Structure 1
Amino acid sequence: MRLPHAPTIGLLLLPLLTTGTETPYSDCGFTGSLVGLQLGSCREWPCVFERGVPIAGEVLFKAVSNYRTLKTTINALFGGIAIPLYVDEQMCTKLLIGQCPADIGESLSYLANLTVGHDLPTITVTLEWNIANGDGETVVCAQVPAQFH
């Protein structure tokens, strides 16, 4: 478990990441520089979410190379199966901070609003948030254990 902190978070005035109490996450392999992650009001594992209630998720990261485009996906991993909960193939057009093309060292922030439908069983899963560049390389990958009720 890793709790990321960066001195610039408070200065950026991000809607979710300004509290200084981010969601803990596991690194699932990436080339970028993940600064902070927030899923709803989750501060400890497992995160507990209600099906049918919107979940705001924000990710803050720094570019370690130049990005022309970015795609984000949030999957629920259960028993070796990835269930897509959220996909945005045009995330560059919706960045809160930064823009594409992004230069090395640029801070980027993105807000995802997802709702888990009632068709997902009340199970414990691992949420995996993945951001890939235009070449399909993983820029950010973070996993968070979660329960849906």
Structure 2
Amino acid sequence: MDTMALKLVLVLVFCAGISVILGDPVPVFKDCGSKVAKINSINITPCETEPCPLVKGHNVSVVLEFTTNKQITKASAVVHAILSGVRVPYPLQNPDGCKDSGLKCPIAGGGTYNYTSSLLVSKTYPSIKLVVEWELKDQDGDVIWCFQVPAQVGG
């Protein structure tokens, strides 16, 4: 094997190892009706496997990068747990998408922004598989972005 081929093999092995160690930001998410923005990336911590593990008594953090196509003057976050097709509202401590979320309203159309939030997984929740649906709505009630991710409450 020549030196160049050996270097290529070593680089590929190194990259594969880093990929296994770091994992993907979110293994699988589904866009569930984003209208005002395009989701560029989502990072949920912890969420290195599918379904995302939601550990009772611990926080789950979300960082979502999006590019909007219109001006947003007001934003409201809404979270649901979907259990056997039934959407159950999850009350956020801070549903105001323009406050303590990394966003400062008004948001200009055409820009790229990062939304950050966290939620506590209550110790009283049952251990169950579900789908988490998280959306941000604008001043007109239009869905800025929406994503769903499979999750497992436990531990």
TM-score class, shorter-chain normalisation, is 0.7 to 0.9
Asked whether 1:68 is paired with 2:67, we answer: no
Asked whether 1:90 is paired with 2:93, we answer: no
How does 1:1-149 map onto structure 2 within 5 Å? Answer: 21-23=24-26, 24-31=28-35, 32-87=37-92, 88-96=94-102, 98-149=103-154
For each residue in 1:33-59, what CA deviation from the matched residue of structure 2 results, as whole angstroms up to 9, or x when unmatched? 111111113133211121111111111
Change (3 A) 1:20 1:86: farther
Larger Rg: 2
> Which TM-score applies when normalising by structure 2?
0.76
Deviation at 1:86, TM superposition (A): 4.3
For each residue in 1:72-92, what CA deviation from the matched residue of structure 2 results, as whole angstroms up to 9, or x when unmatched? 122211023323334333211
- One-letter code of the match for 1:89? P
Taking the aligned partners of 2:121 and 2:150, their CA distance within structure 1 comes to 15
User: Does the 8 Å CA contact 1:95/1:108 hold for their aligned counterparts?
Assistant: no
- One-letter code of the match for 1:108? Y
User: Does the 8 Å CA contact 1:131/1:138 hold for their aligned counterparts?
Assistant: yes
Count matched residues: 130
> Which TM-score applies when normalising by structure 1?
0.78
User: Does the 8 Å CA contact 2:31/2:146 hold for their aligned counterparts?
Assistant: yes
Taking the aligned partners of 2:23 and 2:85, their CA distance within structure 1 comes to 33
Q: Percent identity?
A: 24
- One-letter code of the match for 1:29? G
Gaps of 5+ in 2: 1-21
Question: What is the aligned partner in structure 1 of residue 9 from structure 2?
Answer: none
